[in-house]
Amino acid sequence: MGKIVGIDLGTTFSAIAELDDLGNPEVLSDPENNNRITRSAVYIGRDKAIVGDKAVDAAVTNKKNTILEVKSQMENEVVWSTKEGGWIEKEGKKDIKGYVPSQISSIILSKLKDYTSGVKKAVVTVPAMFAEAARSATLDAAKLAKLDVELINEPTAAVLHYANLPGASVNGRVLIFDLGGGTFDITIANVKGKKVDVITSVGDKHLGGRRFDEEIINILDKKYKKAKSKGLDNPLKDEKLFTIAERIKKILSNKDKATEIIEGPKGPHKIDVSRKEFEDSIDTYIEKIKMLMEEALERADCKANNISQTLLVGGCTRMPVISQVITKIMKKAPVKGVNVDEAVACGAAIYAGLQNKDSLNTAQRKAISNVELNDVCNFYMGTLALTIDQERNMAVQYNDTVIPRDTKLPCSITKTYTVVSDGQKAIDCSVTQSEGEEKDVEFVNLISNEPLELSKNAKAGDPIEVTYSYDSSGKMHCIFEDKKSKKKHEINLKPIGSKDFKELKDNLDFEIE
Amino acid sequence: MEGIVIWIVIVVGWAILKGAFSSVTGGNDNSSSSVEANPFTVKVKKGLPPKDTGLTVDCYNVEMTGMISHPTEDQVKIILLIQDVTDNDDENDAGAPVLSAHEAFAEKGSRVLGVERVYESSSRTYFPDWSLFVPIPVDFIVPPHKGKRRIKFLLCVGDADTTVDRGGVNDTSKLIHISKEIVNFTFKEPGYMDELVNRDKVEDLTIKLGMCMAAADGTLDQKELNIIKTWAKNLTSLLEDDKAQERNAHFSKFLKSSAIAAKTNKISLSNLVKDFNDVASKTQKYTAMQLLLDISGADGTLSKEEDVFINKIAKTTDINLSTFKEMKNKVIANVDNIDLSEKPSEESFGLTEDMDDAEKMKVLRKEYTKWNGQTNHKDPKKKKRAKEMVKIIADLRKQYSN
């Protein structure tokens, strides 16, 4: 039987962990350099792909072949073109040569998998608000890396890790604050011993350390321009500047000022960046963080003083301004108890053990015997129906929620609709997904739409019963039943990956370094 | 809005059950003396209906009491007709039909207000107490004209096969008991007859509003003009040939003259809006707002001037601003560019002067939540717009945040 691991497939850094012989999660290091976290950067060579710091180094000289932040593209239908050196929209274009996000991610997963031997199964983490398309692409990536995989939300994995710390004092209603390199998630959960009940998750898929680095680069560019009367060349495309910005960000987490020599078109220039300048530059992002914290509290129907602890996850939580914001909103300082870069991978390893108890040894089984996780549905799942808009006095198609967001899983909900007109031949069995409770059809994602033929003598008002059943692993089963004829249409929805999986495999014949 | 649909089903169902179970059968067969002792009577009370209906809107609660007996059949039909008798010399005569804003209270296959139910009955069946027949939401009643109206609630008991058509009973010989009550009612919107009479005028005023909208950013773009032309053309497509020809001829001149007037600032917007509000029904106001929104997005950019203009019109037309905002969000999500970022109008996000900072922050957070959810949208254009909107909102909110 192969090993089971947990993988944090991050925007800027990734990590892999497994349960040690005693059942404690252990982060696995890159055997080459002993790094416990690996840069999520991929360099595509002629017959070789490089992952990690070396790939970032390659970006300085060969930008077009180096792919960074692939995670932020997982939901998109794009292709990385090594000819253009960027992501190209696939829509309407045929035969674009290049690599889709799931292929690039699979290279990272393959690299991580090789930190140990015999890995067959994995739990891969995804942001809580990753939509269907992004989850599907992540599953494709795992499949391409020859991993049998399950997904878990990042903050959920993190809280599992916190709850399982030896001698942990995590208890009560907690807020998990996960600010990583590219995404930001907040989860509120009830923790009692090793039992975790998720209440709600909110997030922003475009907020993280990389955006903060961009703001530092903007400061550097402005200061360089002021001193030399000429700005830096295409600064936001210069990976060397990102490395400097990241260094500045880290220094500013401990000091009030950071100084760097910046090479520019008019020669080198020494630039100081103060913590205040940096914090002012990211105030829009900070505002978003505040709004998401307020939203999470509102969704969980609680106030800051109902939260016993705020648990930190992700490298950017080391920034002092983050602690200050949390302290101000939550009225108490956050908990700094774990390695924030590794918490998600460790939690994923615990969940992997939980899902595969049969393959654990006695000590491991004992260690996780009391662990329990109850998750919620992160999206509104609905269907499209017709109604009369009283205000505008017209018939409109609208989105009706069947399973509300934050419903405890597993769940099964039935709603009854009616046939619109006499002699109607069929209905559309549409399944929609949205983050907000949307009525407007334009603002939801249609994830399935198939017809159900009605009986020949269908009459207006005949009932159509719609049942959505959602299990804990993210699988949803939908039944649309014409109660009159007893005809049913069933849809199984699970992020199953691309239908064109064979095509994905075709151009991925790399040696991975 | 579908909430309304759902409760309508519940309430009507409830009303049927309530009526059926609260009627009793009297003790003797002398139906004529029973009828005299317990005449069938209707009463209309305005206010919130009983809590168990689940309704929280003002209704005309139509209640009944007394005999619903039928001398020979074991079923009767109770029919509610509502007529406008304001212009009648004799209020006992049939009045003009009243329309229902919702099909649940309308006669089958028409917009005329009418509710009917079939009850089990005998020669002795009567309601000893006042029983609710049906609550009719006040907002669902559409009389023929605007202003103070006299509305007659006519509740009839007749044979189970009695039929109604356009607010009247087809064969009145089938009726056994009748009772009426007249209420005073003020209708603030133009009635359905006003709508018919004023239709041409409203269309012209809508075109003028459209021209002003198109000129709001200083230029009259051809794409914007095309939207107005197509809108006008569509109006005539359902008309009879003669009328269509007449309107088309009118529009070809009117479009030109109003375009010139808008370009040269010769239209008084305040007078235009006043005239429009006087004659346009709610539905016509929404139709006009949709045209203005279509124009605002026609050139691919929602400019700040257009945004300010359209918000102003929406406010003055007294339409539901939340509905308008939903309509506008569609335009925002679909245009190529929005020009709100430099100094976004607070009004665009529903902020008003009377709000304190905490309220403004709450409103903006709701807006942020709405657009942040859209950053997951499959459509790249909508996703891009959503990302822009969350940045604009966060930028705007931070000034109230410290």
How many contacts does A have with B, using Cβ atoms within 8 A?
A: 105
Tell me: pLDDT of A411 over 90. yes
The residues that bridge with A394 in the sheet, in sequence order, are: A389
Q: List, for residues B263-302, the tens digit of each pLDDT value.
A: 888 888 999 999 999 999 888 999 999 999 999 888 888 8
Q: Are A55 and A41 in contact (CB under 8 A)?
A: yes
ipTM value greater than 0.90: no
Distances (CA, A) of B376 to A8, A46, A72, A477: 21, 34, 11, 22
pLDDT for the residue numbered A512: 76
pLDDT for the residue numbered A502: 63
Mean pLDDT of B39-61: 86
Q: What 3-state DSSP class applies to A325?
A: helix
Q: List, for residues A148-172, the tens digit of each pLDDT value.
A: 999 999 999 999 999 988 876 788 9
A435 contacts B376? CB cut-off 8 A = yes
Percent of chain A with pLDDT over 70: 95
pLDDT for the residue numbered A492: 84
Q: List, for residues A204-255, the tens digit of each pLDDT value.
A: 988 999 999 999 999 999 999 999 999 999 899 888 999 999 999 999 999 9
Tell me: pLDDT of A393 over 90. no
A91 contacts B372? CB cut-off 8 A = no
Separation in Å, CA of A162 to nearest CA in chain B = 28
pLDDT for the residue numbered B2: 33
Q: What CATH topology corresponds to A3-165+340-374?
A: Nucleotidyltransferase; domain 5 (3.30.420)
pLDDT for the residue numbered B28: 40
Kind of pairing between the strands at B41-47 and B141-142:
unpaired
pLDDT for the residue numbered B125: 83
pLDDT for the residue numbered B239: 84
Number of neighbours of residue A387 by Cβ within 10 angstroms: 17
Spell out the residues 6+ positions from residue B379 whose beta carbon is closer than 8 angstroms to its own. Answer: none
Of B4, B287, B368, nearest to A291 by CB-CB distance is B368
Separation in Å, CA of A378 to nearest CA in chain B = 11
Tell me: pLDDT of A89 over 90. no
Percent of chain A with pLDDT over 90: 70
Look over chain B and give the mean of its residue pLDDT values, rounded to a whole number: 84
Domains and CATH numbers, chain B: 2-187 (no CATH), 192-339 (1.10.3680.10)
CATH code given to domain A209-281:
3.90.640.10
Q: List, for residues A260-278, the tens digit of each pLDDT value.
A: 999 999 999 999 999 999 9
Q: List, for residues A445-503, the tens digit of each pLDDT value.
A: 998 899 999 988 888 888 999 999 998 777 789 999 999 899 999 988 765 555 565 66
Q: What's the CATH architecture for A380-493?
A: Sandwich (2.60)
Q: List, for residues A330-383, the tens digit of each pLDDT value.
A: 999 998 778 899 999 999 999 999 998 988 999 999 999 989 999 999 999 999
Q: List, for residues B11-38, the tens digit of each pLDDT value.
A: 332 333 233 334 455 444 444 555 566 7
B286 contacts A388? CB cut-off 8 A = no
Judged on CB neighbours under 10 Å (0-12, 13-18, 19+), B224 is: buried
Mean pLDDT of A188-201: 94
Confidence at B133, pLDDT banded by 50, 70, 90: very high
**Is B326 an 8 Å CB contact of chain A?**
yes
Q: List, for residues B299-350, the tens digit of each pLDDT value.
A: 888 888 888 889 889 989 888 888 888 888 888 888 877 776 556 667 778 8
* Domain segments of chain A as ranges: 3-165+340-374, 209-281, 380-493
Tell me: pLDDT of A14 over 90. yes
Beta strands in B85-231 (DSSP E): 96-97, 99-100, 114-120, 125-137, 141-142, 147-159, 164-165, 168-169, 175-187
Tell me: pLDDT of B6 over 60. no
Tabulate helix, strand, coil % of chain B (nearest 5). 50, 25, 30
Chain A contacts of B326, Cβ < 8 Å? 439-440
Beta strands in A181-337 (DSSP E): 184-192, 195-204, 257-264, 267-274, 309-313
Q: List, for residues A22-66, the tens digit of each pLDDT value.
A: 999 999 999 999 999 999 999 998 888 999 999 988 877 888 899
Q: Model pTM?
A: 0.77
pLDDT for the residue numbered B348: 78
Mean pLDDT of A420-427: 86
Of A75, A294, A440, nearest to B330 by CB-CB distance is A440
A385 contacts B376? CB cut-off 8 A = no
Kind of pairing between the strands at B114-120 and A445-453:
unpaired
Chain A residues in contact with chain B using a Cβ-Cβ cutoff of 8 Å: 75-76, 89, 91, 129, 131, 133, 204-206, 283-288, 290-292, 294-295, 385, 387-394, 398, 400, 434-436, 438-440, 442-443, 445-446
